[in-house]
Chains A and B, each alone.
Chain A
Amino acid sequence: MGLPDEQLRKLIDHIFISHQDGEMDCEMCSCQLECLAEKVAAGASLRDLLPEVEAHLRCCPDCREEWQALLCILRAERDGNLTTPQN
Chain B
Amino acid sequence: MVDRTNEQWLADLTGTPDEQSPALEDLRERLQRGIYYYLSRERSDLSGLSSTEITQMAEDLAQDATLRVMENLGSFRGDSRFTTWATKIAVRVAISDLRRARYRDFSLDDLTADGDLMPSTTANSVTGTPEHGPEDQTERDDVMQKISAALKAALTERQYQALVAVALQDIPLEVVAERMGTNRNALYKLLHDARRKLRTYLETEGLSTNYMLDLFQD
Q: Using an 8 Å CB-CB cutoff, how does the interface string of A22-54 with B read, 1 for contact, 0 for none?
A: 000111001001110110000000000000000
Residues of A whose CB lies within 8 Å of any CB of B are 1-17, 19-21, 25-27, 30, 33-35, 37-38, 60-62, 65-66, 68-70, 72-74, 76-77, 81-87
For A87, list chain B residues within 8 Å (CB): 52, 55-56
For B174, list chain A residues within 8 Å (CB): 62
Residues of B whose CB lies within 8 Å of any CB of A are 29, 32-34, 36-38, 40-42, 51-52, 54-56, 58-59, 79-81, 84-85, 87-88, 91-92, 94-95, 114-125, 143-144, 147-148, 151, 163, 166-168, 170, 172-174, 184-185, 188-189, 192, 195, 198-199, 202, 209, 212-213, 216-217
Interface of B is mostly: helix
Interface-centre pick from A3, A6, A9, A72 (highest chain B CB count, 10 A): A3
Bound-complex Cα distance A25 to B185 (A): 6
Evaluate contact between A73 and B119: CB separation under 8 angstroms.
no
B207 to chain A, nearest CB (A): 9
A78 to chain B, nearest CB (A): 11
Evaluate contact between A61 and B163: CB separation under 8 angstroms.
no
Residue in B92, B123, B168 whose beta carbon sits within 8 Å of that of A3 in the complex: B168
Bound-complex Cα distance A30 to B29 (A): 24
Evaluate contact between B185 and A34: CB separation under 8 angstroms.
no
Q: Report the nearest A residue to B62, measured CB to CB.
A: A85
